[in-house]
A and B are shown apart, each in its own frame.
Chain A
Amino acid sequence: MTGRVLVGVKRVIDYAVKIRVKPDHSGVVTDGVKHSMNPFCEIAVEEAVKLKEKKLIKEVVAISCGPQQVQETIRTALAMGADRGIHVEVSGKDYENLGPLQVSKILAALAKKEEASLVILGKQAIDDDCNQTGQMTAALLDWPQGTFASEVAVEGDKVKIVREIDGGLETIKVNMPAVVTADLRLNTPRYATLPNIMKAKKKKIANVKPQDLGVDLTSRVEVVRVDEPPQRQAGMKVETVDDLVGKLKEAGRI
């Protein structure tokens, strides 16, 4: 086992920003809007760095796919403790159409190339909410997966994962190499402070193109239209129970 962990980090619109739909309904406004690392990806990075601090793994590699700007996101991961970064250059139309299938193909290729023992990802991105990349990556690699992880414990060449599922918690033990996706309660990510960001500037970020990895970026999904959620109707106040019954009958509810 190389003891190398790959962590995928995605640059998304910051969680606190109010999203606006473009007037032509082709997408959301991203120009000049604050972006940051996907919160679930932060948790993934934190987990990888924690494993390294416990000396259970040797190296943390942060990966992001996209244009120049994603290097900021990789730098944040480096400031949190990742050892080096890989920037997979994707821009323009390819970037607009980049989805879980393409990203998982890229991650699978890199996982093989880097001989990774573990791939840790956030469970989903807060922009597209796909919750697919981890699962697809595991399938492409034919590796076991532990998704929605709220606890990860490396035990020799196996990983014990506690998963958050609808009924409660499920504990599984899988062989390494494996794919893990991080859920909210897995850990508390450290803040990338200024001194850490300065120190991280010495760490390397390698540039790679999807073609070099033999990955085809064609998308099989086309975004037809993007709309805002329907406006909430204002509530109405009534004086008596009879008024309430009357209004409900009017609205055809009873």
Chain B
Amino acid sequence: MANPFRGEVVRLYKNLLFLGREYPKGVEYFRDRLRAAFVKNKDVQDPEKIKQLIKRGEFVVKELEALYYLRKYRAMKKRYYETDE
């Protein structure tokens, strides 16, 4: 598979795997789904399609970062600040 995008795809996978360590449902749950998602697309050859999939992966990275931030922010807000009720 001498695909020019191979490096980018592997890097994306590693970044997502790294992010998965903090996933609320557990790192195994995340890793299984991550692997399944990548394996499902392993035979894609069209460069346009690959670029699209990489973009989707990068989108997921941003979504995860936002998820982690919101979780933490909400937990801190709940623990340390009075709610007006």
Taking Cβ atoms with an 8 Å cutoff, the residues of A that contact B are 15-16, 39-40, 126, 184, 188-189, 191, 193-195
Who on chain B is nearest to A197 by CB? B18
Taking Cβ atoms with an 8 Å cutoff, the residues of B that contact A are 11, 14-15, 18-19, 24, 61, 65, 68-69, 71-73, 75-77, 79-81
Apart from A191-B19, A191-B68, A195-B15, 11 more pairs, CB < 8 Å: A15-B75, A16-B71, A126-B76, A126-B79, A184-B77, A184-B80, A191-B65, A193-B18, A193-B61, A194-B15, A195-B11
Determine the distance from Cα of A193 to Cα of B12 in the docked complex, in whole angstroms: 11
Who on chain B is nearest to A190 by CB? B65
Who on chain A is nearest to B80 by CB? A184
Q: A184-B80, A191-B65 are in contact. Are A16 and B75 (CB under 8 A)?
A: yes
**Of A15, A126, A189, A194, which is within 8 A of B69 by CB?**
A189
Cβ contact within 8 Å between B14 and A194 = yes
Q: A193-B18, A194-B15 are in contact. Are A188 and B69 (CB under 8 A)?
A: yes
Interface centre among B14, B18, B71, B80 (most CB of A within 10 A): B80
Determine the distance from Cα of A15 to Cα of B71 in the docked complex, in whole angstroms: 10
For residue A204, give the distance in angstroms from its CB to the closest CB of chain B.
23
Across-interface contacts of B69 in A (CB, < 8 A): 188-189, 191
Across-interface contacts of B72 in A (CB, < 8 A): 15, 39
Pairs A-B, 10 closest by C-beta atoms: A194-B18, A191-B65, A194-B15, A39-B76, A184-B76, A15-B75, A39-B72, A194-B14, A15-B72, A188-B69
**Of A39, A184, A188, which is within 8 A of B81 by CB?**
A184
For residue A80, give the distance in angstroms from its CB to the closest CB of chain B.
13
For residue B20, give the distance in angstroms from its CB to the closest CB of chain A.
11
A-B contact pairs, 10 of them (CB 8 A): A16-B24, A16-B75, A126-B76, A126-B79, A184-B73, A184-B76, A193-B15, A194-B14, A194-B19, A195-B15
